[in-house]
Structure 1
Amino acid sequence: MTLRKIGRILSAWIGLGVIAAGLSSPADARIVRLDITRQEPAFGGRNFGQVGGYVRLSGKAHGEVDPNLPQNAIIQDIRLAPRNARGMVEYVTDIDILRPADPDRGNNILLFEVHNRGRKLMLRNFNDGLAGNQADYNNLTDAGDGFLMAAGYTLVWYGWQADVAPGDGRLTLTVPAARNPDGSPLTGLVRAELTTATPAKTLNLSSGWFTGLTHASYPTASADNRTAFADGFLPTLTVRARQQEPRVAIPNGDWSFGACNDADGVTSGDRQICLPAGFQPGRLYELIYRAKDPLVTGLGFAATRDLAAFLKRRDKDLAGTANPVFRRGQRAIIMGTSQSGRMIRSFIHLGFNRDEQGRTAFEGALPHIGGGLMPLNVRFSQAGRAWGEQVDHLYPAYDFPFTYGRQRDPLTGRNQGLLDRCRANGTCPRIFHVATALEMWEGRQSLGLTDPMGRRDVTDPANVRTYIMASTQHGPANLPLPAAEPFGVCQQQQNPNPHIWTLRALITGLTDWVVSDKAPPDSAIPRIADGTLVAPDQVRFPPIPANAYGNVRRPQVRMLRVTNPLFQLDYGPGYVAADTSGVITVEPPRQSTAGYGLLVPQVDGDGNDVGGLRSLFLQAPIGTYTGWNLGRKDRFEDGFCSLAGSFIPFARTRQERLDTGDPRLSIEERYPTPAAYAATVKAAAERLVAARYLLPDDAARLVGRAETEGIRLGP
């Protein structure tokens, strides 16, 4: 052995010693204690290919944040939070981890999911054939076909949203409430949009379209709604049938804080509202009240950062408890769906992908159906709210910047991009931004593809790829679809066009990019330049008549070209729109008259999108799949049916479509024989595999179904 080789070996051992010493250094610790309360074989000891079995580890991670570090200064109210004896602000997050029983068989990737309002969605998004309901998904009772496990990922779930209520396996985060410097309760303005699916006399103050019983309410500062505060403020309750209609005041004598009781009275309380006349479905009730005890919810960003840093880089906590997933050289990818995708975008935007030691927390990020931003770093944050055209329309969710790259906003005069902070310190992850056609229609997603006025295409930065899944809705409709009206709260059956096969290919592509620097699949988006991204009044949607295809009666499709307009919203001088952070003092917000330029996908003669990533189901269609649907009578009629697209099947025969007056070709005209249908599916699968938008094994599975099951007559 040469002296040079001996020197290299000694240097390597010395380097490992330095690394090991650093891993045990208290100065590196922000997750100070790990409590694993449950460890057991996952999924009944099932094996997943060459990776083998999995172990499930559950418990809590105890963290603390130094409020004096520059990285943490942006956290709203961090200086008003109580501190421990070390001057730190503490939090506790639930953790739930699945890792290979034999870590050597894993792929060395920690795949974090940002939960959606406490719910685990990752297995449903990637593993085919998952059994059960959402509570089963939360409790990890089934692995479906085990796609993520067979690939060797270590899966990490944790709590980040402090107002999520426990129950049904939801993940929670415990953070302190901010207080005034003298220790007295901190109060402020809260606007609670209240909705209900069934008539009710009592609602929680958090009872929104997406929140309800799953979210804790901010308590009112006074349960007396009829006596004004010293400064003259008096809470108000209004109602309207649609977002665009005037608010109608409900007199304060007609409602109370608390719960209606059986004796036609009220049990006073500070987290509920009683309306003896009853709250009705299909109505927007808006309560504006003075609340107390705001949670320091921005700590959810810090918990995300710190848990990634700990699990990747530390072998044990300060008490010596071993990190159960530690392996040197691991990479971390963060993914999240809908609300959780917006959280990831804000996490990066606010600079939290740089940990307290200045290192990159996540090497990869996959925000899925998560356009816009997350108002987590706002006093009295309501992070469970969204950005609907009818529901949750006025909550902060779509402040400029809209794009990852930097550009100028002519309405605010700001020059910004979501990657400004991470670019400045070299901690940007590689990003796959994945959205649906519904985000284009209802979710303002075109602002991520163009300049703010919708006049020209923009280019993503080199570390970003964008994929718009053509003719899909926010989350695919569950099968079987309802066979008779009413179709839920919508006018048409919802869109079942799946995301799963595309997502499996994309997580594989992102992993390859992060681990081995393999070039990712090309972005797939509609564009102004090629006419696939247009103004809503330019969409050439076919006239689809009322029909009874498959013995299901459907009304005529009404293309009203509804949009979800975006204007500047003024929440008061304490709100920092550039960071979706701060203190809201104006509710409802003041709205400017100048709006941003929103565009939508152009369609073909069937009404299916022509731009973006066209899945196998769109290339061998059996109907029209849209990214929009309308609300039915008494349910925000003719506004967007929240988060829903439409599915309208083709007629089965030429004669049936002619009798109906349908301009779209029938199934028999498209696919004269089962073999012709199978050939169409196979050709589409080959194109998608070549572009790396479909995995070869999944292509073989889908083609095999077409060959053995024949022409699909239902979604």
Structure 2
Amino acid sequence: MGLWRGFALGLCLIVGTVDTAVAEVVRVVIDRRTVFLEGRVFGTAGAYELLEGRVFFAFDPDEPANGRIADIHLAPVGEDGRVELWTGFTVLQPLDPQQRRGVAWVDLGEGGLGATAALIQGGAPDGTVFTDPAELGDPLLLRQGVTWIQLGWEAAFTDRPGRLTLALPTALEADGSPVMGWVRLDWLVDEDDAPLSLADPSRPFNPVVVPEAPVHILTVRDEPDAARDTIPVDEWSFVLAEDGPYAGTPVALDVDGGTEAGRIYELVYRARDPRIVGLGLAVVRDVMSYARYDLDSAFPTGSGIAFGAGAGGRFLRQFLYEGFNVDEGGRPVFDAVWVHGAGAGRGQFNARFAQPGRVPSRGTDHGHPVDLFPFTTSLQFDPVSGRSLGLLPGVDEVGRPRTFATHRGHDFWARGAALTHTSVDGLRDVVPEGPDRAYHLASTLAGSSAMGVPGPDPRWTLRALAVAMLDWVDGDTPPPPSRVPTIGEGTLVPSGGVAYPAAESIPSAPTPHLVSRVDHGNRFDTDRVIDREPPELGPAFPTGVPQVDGLGNELGGVRGLEIRVPVATYLPWAVVEDGSPFRDGDPAVVPLPLTDAEAGLRGDTRPSLQYLYGSEAAFLARVRAAAAALVAEGFLLEEDREAAIAQARERWLAVVGGG
């Protein structure tokens, strides 16, 4: 690390515009370069500087490394025959090159924003930490001396102000005419007369071809798997935008008599002008390659880690599957990739008329090309399709990174996470090992609790894993072994086999999200073109969910303080007020009864806080012992121990009262 720091000192440039030696990155423009937070010192890394700017690219459509980008040969090109685009970026790096660790942390969150500040540092959940320092949280990553990179990568947010922009080109036929194809949208209506909008910030807008044509089909149904009833074409119409960027273009639907609450409306329409969203994969590849291999890089680094959460995590699974962890020069890009909260999904990050924001849930977005085989990093055989595939190449091949996958409890119920560490038939375990790790953050939720008491805080585990990942990359120190529920230990079971305790306050568990095989037509696997909407559904992949202990909390994963010394049952699946079996809702936290008498009155078979602990002092003694164990296991940082214990006490007080 010291040798790299000395080398970096010679590379540090004060730049406005830099022409680069990496073929795809033709220019880097630094629009602003400032000392971050007026020179605040972050541990031994010292002060940081903030770079804000744009990276300009020119991609060769005939370059084999770009060959998997859908429709790249339909992109407009410059005089040199290359596809031109740019993306915005922000970089934080230690001001003194001698203090730089030499590891880039590329942060891919939702909607043109990063994920690290909120998930690992306890910062703002919807902010970009580089433009508003108050959103930074506890700056663990900065104290580690990393070069922290954010960039525009997601096609859905190219037009939204305040986000890092990725300026993607639109595909055109060889004669200059528009590219056309099918697009499917659906809406689960919450209230009568709710609008049906075609323009949504979570996906690119795809204009309608000839609104008056009878080829567009609107259907309605009562449940996701119910038969679709076609609404006659004379009973609905497109609504045109009166002003703004889409003036005169259909942007919504008007249904005669209005829409009905609780029903699912689905539109399949003929669209035009798809953006070439797969270029986002090459953008991430080449920004990291530029940082790593260009001797004139404005933010040089010796190695790199990609961290993606939610859509960013699914993007990284697609990135690996498509082979983008090798650059055009045949060199490795990221040393390690960390996918958080993605479950088994990849996504629409490289397809014609892609909708990256579409994620199948219990009620909507069924059949979109998101949860697609293969699911595991290792090779597996699917007897239905007859294909043998894995997300990653062999362990010894160029571009084979080390990987982390972290799953919330929610991801087993809503995102098919068990598919990432079980066989295709669901009968045996395929637990990641060697260069791969998987961790189940037991009973963690996806959102706020529906019942007032906060859910488990995964931040403590994620912080420990972040440090472990950095030490694995630049120190070759192995992280803790994978910790996930398994079939062999009986901690991963069919949803009907989960033994929740009897308590009136614990609602019935829903049916988990089923991942079905889908057929979008013959061209999807080869050209990423969807010819069949809605798709033909095949048999579902068998999947499991975590078994629970006597209190109803999940087994088989990393059990944090909230689970080892519990004051509640944490239900990671969504609770819905109206009882709808296919509507998403909020996860639930069900406090334990305070006394044995209260448990008896409520018919609650869970032990009371009185029985488990007797007093706050006894509770805190158990918490301290559990915290020591987590530190020893590598799932809690020593520097976080007292803060985690204090948070556990706050949780106790939230249930029993007092302060």
TM over 0.5: yes
Query: Shift of the alpha carbon at 1:80?
Result: 1.2
- The count of corresponding residues between Structure 1 and Structure 2 is 641
Code of the residue aligned with 1:450 in structure 2: it is T
Query: Shift of the alpha carbon at 1:120?
Result: 2.3
5 Å-filtered alignment, 1:1-80, equals 28-43=22-37, 45-80=39-74
Code of the residue aligned with 2:534 in structure 1: it is P
**Secondary structure at the residue paired with 1:377?**
coil
Distance in structure 2 (CA, Å) of the matches to 1:624 and 1:708: 16
User: Quick one: which of 251, 266, 272 aligns to 1:286?
Assistant: 266
Deviations 1:165-194 (A, max 9, x none): 433522221121111111111100110123
1:539 aligned partner: 498
Query: Shift of the alpha carbon at 1:399?
Result: 1.3
1:194 aligns with 2:187: yes
Deviations 1:496-550 (A, max 9, x none): 211111110111111111101111111101111111111112111112214xxxx
User: Quick one: which of 371, 386, 390 aligns to 1:398?
Assistant: 371
Distance in structure 2 (CA, Å) of the matches to 1:569 and 1:51: 49
1:674 aligns with 2:647: no
Query: Shift of the alpha carbon at 1:27?
Result: 6.0
2:15 aligned partner: none
Deviations 1:590-614 (A, max 9, x none): 112x321111111111111111111
Distance in structure 2 (CA, Å) of the matches to 1:613 and 1:155: 27
5 Å-filtered alignment, 1:160-175, equals 160-167=153-160, 169-175=162-168
How has the CA–CA distance of structure 1 residues 301 and 223 changed in structure 2, closer, same or farther, with 3 Å as cutoff?
same
1:223 aligned partner: 211
2:326–2:332 contact (8 Å) kept in structure 1: yes
5 Å-filtered alignment, 1:333-412, equals 333-371=305-343, 372-412=345-385
1:522 aligned partner: 481
How has the CA–CA distance of structure 1 residues 56 and 283 changed in structure 2, closer, same or farther, with 3 Å as cutoff?
farther
Distance in structure 2 (CA, Å) of the matches to 1:527 and 1:38: 50
How has the CA–CA distance of structure 1 residues 706 and 406 changed in structure 2, closer, same or farther, with 3 Å as cutoff?
closer
Query: Shift of the alpha carbon at 1:104?
Result: 2.2
5 Å-filtered alignment, 1:76-475, equals 76-128=70-122, 130=123, 134-135=126-127, 139-142=131-134, 143-167=136-160, 169-195=162-188, 202-206=195-199, 212-224=200-212, 227-228=213-214, 234-259=215-240, 268-275=248-255, 277-279=257-259, 282-316=262-296, 323-327=297-301, 330-371=302-343, 372-420=345-393, 425-474=397-446
How has the CA–CA distance of structure 1 residues 214 and 709 changed in structure 2, closer, same or farther, with 3 Å as cutoff?
closer
How has the CA–CA distance of structure 1 residues 59 and 281 changed in structure 2, closer, same or farther, with 3 Å as cutoff?
farther
Distance in structure 2 (CA, Å) of the matches to 1:117 and 1:709: 32
Is there any run of 5+ residues in structure 1 with no aligned partner, and where?
Answer: 1-8, 18-23, 207-211, 229-233, 317-322, 482-486, 547-555
Code of the residue aligned with 1:63 in structure 2: it is F
Percent identity, aligned pairs only, is 32
Which TM-score applies when normalising by structure 1? 0.84
User: Quick one: which of 646, 657, 660 aligns to 2:588?
Assistant: 646
2:460–2:644 contact (8 Å) kept in structure 1: no
1:405–1:417 contact (8 Å) kept in structure 2: yes
2:202–2:357 contact (8 Å) kept in structure 1: no
1:6 aligned partner: none
Query: Shift of the alpha carbon at 1:707?
Result: 6.9
Which TM-score applies when normalising by structure 2? 0.91
User: Quick one: which of 610, 619, 622 aligns to 2:567?
Assistant: 622
Distance in structure 2 (CA, Å) of the matches to 1:281 and 1:108: 54
Query: Shift of the alpha carbon at 1:203?
Result: 4.3
**Secondary structure at the residue paired with 1:519?**
coil
2:403–2:437 contact (8 Å) kept in structure 1: yes
Distance in structure 2 (CA, Å) of the matches to 1:67 and 1:260: 36
**Secondary structure at the residue paired with 2:655?**
coil
Code of the residue aligned with 2:172 in structure 1: it is R
Code of the residue aligned with 1:272 in structure 2: it is A
Distance in structure 2 (CA, Å) of the matches to 1:497 and 1:631: 20
Deviations 1:130-160 (A, max 9, x none): 35x6256584332222222222222111111
Deviations 1:260-318 (A, max 9, x none): 889xxx985234334464456644221110000111111010001000001122143xx
2:640 aligned partner: 698
Code of the residue aligned with 2:183 in structure 1: it is V
Distance in structure 1 (CA, Å) of the matches to 2:493 and 2:648: 34
1:259–1:274 contact (8 Å) kept in structure 2: no
Distance in structure 2 (CA, Å) of the matches to 1:409 and 1:624: 37
Aligned Cα root-mean-square deviation (Å): 2.8
Deviations 1:17-76 (A, max 9, x none): 9xxxxxx99663211111221222334543322323322221211112111111111111
Query: Shift of the alpha carbon at 1:245?
Result: 2.9
Code of the residue aligned with 1:97 in structure 2: it is V
Code of the residue aligned with 1:411 in structure 2: it is V
Code of the residue aligned with 1:531 in structure 2: it is G
Is there any run of 5+ residues in structure 2 with no aligned partner, and where?
Answer: 12-17
Distance in structure 2 (CA, Å) of the matches to 1:709 and 1:674: 11
Range 47-56 or range 133-142, more displaced:
133-142
Deviations 1:345-369 (A, max 9, x none): 1101110000011111100111001
How has the CA–CA distance of structure 1 residues 269 and 138 changed in structure 2, closer, same or farther, with 3 Å as cutoff?
farther
Distance in structure 1 (CA, Å) of the matches to 2:90 and 2:170: 25
Code of the residue aligned with 1:180 in structure 2: it is E
Code of the residue aligned with 1:186 in structure 2: it is V
User: Quick one: which of 519, 522, 535 aligns to 1:570?
Assistant: 519
Query: Shift of the alpha carbon at 1:390?
Result: 1.6
